[in-house]
Structure 1
Amino acid sequence: MAPEPPQPGPSPATPGPDSPRTGERRPASRPEDIEDDRHDIAIIGMDGVFPNARSTDELWHVLMAGEDCLREVPEERWDLEAYYGTEGRPGTVYLRKAGFVDGLTDFDAGFFRLSPAEAQWIDPQQRHLAQSAWRALEDAGLAGRVPASTGVFVGASYQHYRDMVVGDVVETPAGLGNHNAILANRLSYFLDLRGPSMTVDTLCSSSLVALHQAVRSIRAGECEQAVVAGVHMGMSPQYFQLGSRLRSFSPSGVVRAFDAGADGFVPGEGVVSVVVKSLGAALRDGDRVRGVVRGSAVGHGGRTSGLTVPSGGGQGEVVVAALVDAGVSPDSLGVVEAHGTGTGLGDPIEVEGLSRAWRRFTGRSQFCALGSVKSNIGHLEPA
């Protein structure tokens, strides 16, 4: 289906000195230009497991149906009633629902050259990450022949399994084997990869910062391609206790992103993996291109009214930097998939930041849609 023509509106504002170039990036005119162009990054393979969706195709159907994938804590995880309480006493949990994945402990240990005993002590985050990364490589047509120069960049934060199951056990697979640094390391080890291998922990932005690092690494020639992933699995009662103590969760168990009734977020589990390489190399090699990363940027909001309070100005600046890096104007965008956690504080600040960025380049308004998948599957935090 052909894209709709742009709607009439005010003339775009004159871009400032830091504004991106308008229009598309100059296409390469010669094969050697394509091979040398490492700026645009192609997504050539992907995989994901989400609440109520075992694949990216199933997730698409969930979104098309407007399905609510949040449910009460499964009995096989932990006893909700042993922790539940609405009176706010320390140690109690007031949230009954979250986004849980099925088959948390499913794992083909033999395929990944692990003994069943070792696999038992390994965090499900490692198990699901390994399986998801392999499926993403299969989707890219690379499983079994991954170039040694491939990098691995993983976004992760929590260690629920160690908190809930492993405890004080000091056996090597349970101790050293469950550090988050091993998430990327084990994948590079299994696939015999020599490119950069790192786990990134910046809390909610972990997987996007991991993607940013991969983009920069490919552009710099540090790796030929990369596996980029984010994972958040096996949520523990301790995690729910902490979130309840901070009053971070939605008491209603509903994520109302960009809604006047937003009252907090609802956590979710999931793992997402993509295989990326330069667009020039992908076109040269005949890869199926699922999407293109034109630009990225990272930054911090600096000092605000609180350590966890975001900055509209800081968010606006980093969005401007990403647009400049991508070489595109907001006028060419039709939708923004936002953070949108469903909090009364964070969502308006995010809209403020985006609005500040948009106003740097255009005087138009009401032409770009805003969305957040968290309303369907919850907040997957580092994933």
Structure 2
Amino acid sequence: MSTNNDDPIVITGMAVEAPGGVETLADYWAALAESRDLLGPFPRDRGWPLERLLSLSETEGWGMVRDSGGFLDGAADFDPQFFGITPREAVAMDPQQRVALRVAWRALENAGINPSDLGDDEIGCYMGASNTEYGPHGAEVNDYTGYRAGGAALGAVAGRLSNVLGLNGPSVVVDVACASSLAAVHMAASAIRNGECDWALAGAACVIGSPGAFFEFSKNNALAADGQCKPYAEDAQGTLWGEGVGVLVLERESRARELGHRIYGRLLGSRINHNGKGAPIAVPSTEAQERLMRATVAASGVAPELIDMIEGHGTGTAVGDPLELTALQQVYGGPRPDGSGPLLGSVKSNLGHAQAAAGLLGLIKVLLSGVHGQIAPTRHAANPTTRVDWNASGLRLASELRDWAPRDGVRYAAVSSFGVSGTNAHAVLAMPVLQEPALAGATSGGAAESSAEGNTHA
């Protein structure tokens, strides 16, 4: 991405669905500001082998699986006719396509754009997603055979949005595991800068189609045995899987101002890289993350000491958290003139690890913190890990809701993600103080609300 921020890429619309019944930006902010636990028991309507799953620890070498995760209440709900889709095809569609459709519709409405009339612009669509094994195997003949190709295709998470909404620009699904959503935002911004599209939707979707990830991490003894995800905490026991969907509207600032769109934030810099050769693919690299963060800060043109909020990856694992913290401390730590340091947190403490959508849910948390002028707290932050020297680093865990004073009318933040694929993603944001009332029009009313209450189920 260019270092020229004379006409930066800005975020002018957003929408989210998260565990705990969160379906609007206002719901999401309230849950974060109140440090609410959004976790719940495993869904009972997905045909999962729960008895076997919850008894895995009885087998030698397997870790405890608690009846806990961050699951969307409305993952199975969809109104196909609203989007011009037949009920039979809708059932064959991966729920990630369905939920992404309604969240994208709300993001457009939030930006003041009519989703049913997008004009003649070249509009891109970049979505992070990973295959979560929804539905029967393709070789199994059933009533939905014939719809499975488009229904199960990972690329259709973006392609379905482009098809239904009439987006005729680039349409790409990014799958780099848990770095997917920030990578999708980076690619969308780059496409706008390069003239590949006039503006774009960028986001991610994660709806868990099978409990395979729980089996995998139980075998690796990397799941939270107490059913809580505790990023950067001394008593963290592992990660916990969750779900979520978020979509942003990205465009150039000149275009946004010409059309009178609200500007939630400027994407001053974003970068992606890979750990490369060395450790096993799933093991994070402090060196690669530090290199990426420094490159992103350089692209943003913002001094690292101006960053007051960092939304980290923070999975609550014994390996990943200290390695990430070391990289963050090297780039954003150190003494500051006012004696303070950036406040660090991870939304995974509220809702678990939403995998391909994790970074996007964290980015929206940052944007909402900018809107409200407060840094949302991270749960379980009272007892930080002792595997890093917090006093020397200057970093602090955001253990409570804090006021966030702007610097010359702007608040600066960074967002970090990395994945089991070895890919890392980082972004630096600037959020101007909004003049209009907080979240005016941002609760996503209108026709899209009806799309959350259909009767076609997974």
TM-score range, shorter chain: 0.7 to 0.9
Measured against aligned partners, the alpha-carbon deviations of 1:280-331 in whole angstroms (never above 9, x if no partner) come to: 2111221111122111011112224322111111101111111111110111
Partners of 2:307 and 2:199 in 1: CA distance: 27
Specify the code of the residue in structure 2 equivalent to 1:244. S
Match of 1:358 in 2: 332
**What secondary structure sits across from 2:16 in the alignment?**
strand
Tell me: CA distance 1:334–1:169, structure 2 relative to 1, closer, same or farther (3 Å). farther
Specify the code of the residue in structure 2 equivalent to 1:65. E
Match of 1:95 in 2: 66
In structure 1, which of residues 294, 305, 315 is the aligned counterpart of residue 279 of structure 2? Answer: 305
Please say if 1:135 is aligned against 2:109: no
Displacement of 1:92: 8.9
- Runs of at least 5 residues in structure 2 that lack an aligned partner in the other structure: 358-458
Please say if 1:73 is aligned against 2:50: no
Specify the code of the residue in structure 2 equivalent to 1:61. A
Structure number, greater radius of gyration: 1
Tell me: CA distance 1:93–1:189, structure 2 relative to 1, closer, same or farther (3 Å). farther
Please say if 1:149 is aligned against 2:118: no
In structure 1, which of residues 163, 173, 187 is the aligned counterpart of residue 147 of structure 2? Answer: 173
**What secondary structure sits across from 2:98 in the alignment?**
helix
Displacement of 1:193: 1.7
Match of 2:255 in 1: 281
Return 238-247 or 254-263, whichever deviates more. Answer: 238-247
- Runs of at least 5 residues in structure 1 that lack an aligned partner in the other structure: 1-19, 27-36
RMSD of aligned residue pairs (Cα, Å): 2.3
Please say if 1:43 is aligned against 2:11: yes
In structure 2, which of residues 196, 201, 207 is the aligned counterpart of residue 227 of structure 1? Answer: 201
Please say if 1:184 is aligned against 2:158: yes
Measured against aligned partners, the alpha-carbon deviations of 1:28-50 in whole angstroms (never above 9, x if no partner) come to: xxxxxxxxx44x11111111000
Spell out the pairing of 1:1-383 with structure 2 (5 A cutoff). 37-38=6-7, 40-52=8-20, 53-77=22-46, 78-85=48-55, 86-88=57-59, 94-142=65-113, 143-147=115-119, 148-162=121-135, 168-169=140-141, 171-358=145-332, 363-364=335-336, 366-383=340-357
Tell me: CA distance 1:92–1:262, structure 2 relative to 1, closer, same or farther (3 Å). closer
Displacement of 1:89: 5.6
**What secondary structure sits across from 1:125 in the alignment?**
helix
Cα contact 1:95–1:244 (8 A) shared by 2: no
Answer 1 or 2: which has greater strand percent: 2
Displacement of 1:79: 4.9
Cα contact 2:335–2:341 (8 A) shared by 1: no
Measured against aligned partners, the alpha-carbon deviations of 1:102-136 in whole angstroms (never above 9, x if no partner) come to: 12221110121111111111111110011111110
Cα contact 1:95–1:240 (8 A) shared by 2: no
Match of 2:447 in 1: none
- Select the structure with the greater relative contact order (CA < 8 A; seq sep ≥ 6): 1
Displacement of 1:347: 0.7
Runs of 4+ in 1 over 6 A off after TM superposition: 90-93
Cα contact 1:268–1:377 (8 A) shared by 2: yes
Measured against aligned partners, the alpha-carbon deviations of 1:213-263 in whole angstroms (never above 9, x if no partner) come to: 001001111111100110100341333222222222111111111111122
Specify the code of the residue in structure 2 equivalent to 1:149. E
Partners of 1:113 and 1:247 in 2: CA distance: 45
Displacement of 1:177: 2.6
Tell me: CA distance 1:321–1:108, structure 2 relative to 1, closer, same or farther (3 Å). same
Cα contact 1:100–1:268 (8 A) shared by 2: yes
Instruction: Kindly tell me the number of residue pairs found equivalent between the two proteins.
Output: 347
Match of 2:368 in 1: none
What TM-score comes out, normalization by structure 2 length? Answer: 0.72
Q: Percent identity at matched positions?
A: 35
Specify the code of the residue in structure 2 equivalent to 1:114. I
Specify the code of the residue in structure 1 equivalent to 2:348. K
**What secondary structure sits across from 1:230 in the alignment?**
strand
Partners of 1:80 and 1:229 in 2: CA distance: 31
Displacement of 1:366: 4.8
What TM-score comes out, normalization by structure 1 length? Answer: 0.85
Partners of 2:267 and 2:208 in 1: CA distance: 30
Displacement of 1:367: 1.1
Partners of 2:260 and 2:70 in 1: CA distance: 37
Specify the code of the residue in structure 2 equivalent to 1:168. E
Partners of 1:183 and 1:363 in 2: CA distance: 44
